Chain A
Amino acid sequence: MPIEFKTPGAIQQVVSMAQMVAEQVMRPKAAYYDEHEHEIPWEYINMMWPIVSQSPLLGADDSRNGHGEAERKRSPITNVRLIHIVEMLSWGDAGQYLCTPGGNLGAAAIAAVGTPEQKRRFLSRFQGEKPAWGAMAMTEPQAGSDTSAIKTTAVRDGDFWVLNGEKIFCTGGRLALEESNGLVVVWATVDPKAGRAGMKPFVVEAGTPGVTVTKLEPKLGIRASDTASILLQDARIPFDHILGSPEVISDTGGEKGFKGAMKTFDATRPIVAASALGIARATIEYVKHLLNQEGITIRYGAPLHQLSAVELEVMDMEAQHRAAWLLTQKAAWMMDMGLNNNLEASMCKVKAGDAVTRITQKAVEILGPLGYSRAHPVEKWMRDAKINDIFEGTGQINRLIVARRILGYTSRELK
């Protein structure tokens, strides 16, 4: 396959469907859900559910028959298609996009490390009649980027695990546990002394006694999406809800469970990057539109001494956006090709997080009184954008990963 930049027709088709949803359902309500934090965008959810549950677009592509590998081989554009859809939906509204029903991060973890039987058992709910959500709970009050510092425990009790601890910043935790028959993949340690080797993912289903959503965080942006605190008090789950091996394998043995979690990031970071870049594109289009109304068009190729500061800023926005989008497409394409994209996934996440932060902040400045006003969408996009430089690995954590990879250093050599 030579170097090519032509979006395949099959992707264009599904993107124009996403565009209809973005334009007709998401955009008209974007300001409303921003102003009414934590109201659930049911119009969008109910519009998306029949599509998502019929042909899982957003993460749970392995759920049908438990033969994910074979399916992926037949569809060599799965990840490239996915980032195009996510980009378009986030162009519509990033807050509503994050409420997209389906397995999401929870299903991604199950798909990555679950047995075929677990995939069948846990993922079938994402093809049911009613919308259902999956989520992932890793972060704790004292453990953010340093995931190995989590304190939530899982103690074996016969045929059960007993979970105790507090999870925070769980995206979609309320939708998964309170608004649907969903599930949350909760990370807990089976051996607090073992560090990462003791960390295991457990499937916690909606309705499990001892599991409570205790708080929805008030946020800078993406306000339609809930960011939940989850309290686990003697929550008993069946023994076979553990994903991967229950054994604590020493460092030299491979850290299978933890590595499994890290591997899902290789898939999800390009998705977050794509979401960031949907916001960035919306912003650039809006800025150019308003400038056009004032008779200002960007003169590409004009010499520097003729260009205005605004033209230079817009060109830089476009250049950074394009570079980030190509990095993101490459990271997704590598997944589709079955190549290890650990480095590229972090590269695109860094670049997209930086680009969208800068682009949206610059846009507010360029549009001046219009930029800062809530009568225009740009200030909201700036607030929405920032999360992309934080979740699924902060810009700093991803720089650390890139640096380790290019230098050939372990996490001990480069802390």
Chain B
Amino acid sequence: MNEAAVDITGLVKSYPGSESPAVAGIDLRVKAGAFFGLLGPNGAGKTTLISMMCGLLRPDAGSLRMAGMDIAARPNEVKQRIGVVPQDIALYPTLTARENLAYFGGMLGLSGARLRERVNWALETARLAQYAGVRVEVLSGGLKRRLSLVIGFIHEPEILLLDEPTVGIDPHSRLFIYESLRAMNAAGMTIIYTSHYMEEVEGLCREIAIIDQGRIIARGSLDDILAGGAGTGAVEIRSGEALPDGTLERITRLPGVRDVERSGKLLRLASDSPMDALPGVLALLRRDGVKVLSLSHGAANLEEVFLTLTGRGLRE
């Protein structure tokens, strides 16, 4: 389980007419069996990276090995060992759920009894058995997503690449997708999951890379990344009365305080070291006659980490 499922070095990809490259020199190594999150805002280069990983795009420079094989040298063997769940639903609307599964299963090299067995398994796994004979065009968006998802792993790939697979679906289907992916990962499948929804990545992935403007700007385990961004942790102080003149300015000058925001009787501190800065802040408030009603310290989340790293929000 220690060998790399994905091994990327110096990967570059530019589109004609674009001023900056979509992928600008990415190095990335993902261990086999990982549940890896690729987080970034729209246009960060996630889809381009995934497209190169599944052989849809040829890199301008760099090397890309999937499941231990160079995709440029052995594209079909790599494609046989990976599964892809694209951003689009990517189904044939006039075919039934079963026909879609059978067709794509066939294109993935399954045939005969094995194909029939895997189609039935996929229908059961996606809880679509009762819709097996229904044309996809009449299924709901959530059911279509489930079908699209199981097509990605009907052939039991070693690595599953998912490009924002939960866009525009209901919470029930989203939950189903999360459960399925956890189960697949628990069974040993390496999962690369891209999203610009930080909650998804936080909830699913044990390892994360944050990508922005074609570069990886942070990577590691979820705990490492959040810990690395601990400085962004915010301290919120609710006071009984409005702050006297000058108090806010004096707090800003205290050691360890990076920034202060006031919203009515709520004071929000950004600190590189909240535990060190807090005693001084509380002493100053007491001295200025400000009664503290409540105090809370929230750990940083990915949104805040991203904000700190790029100066922009994930959804901008």
A interacts with B: no
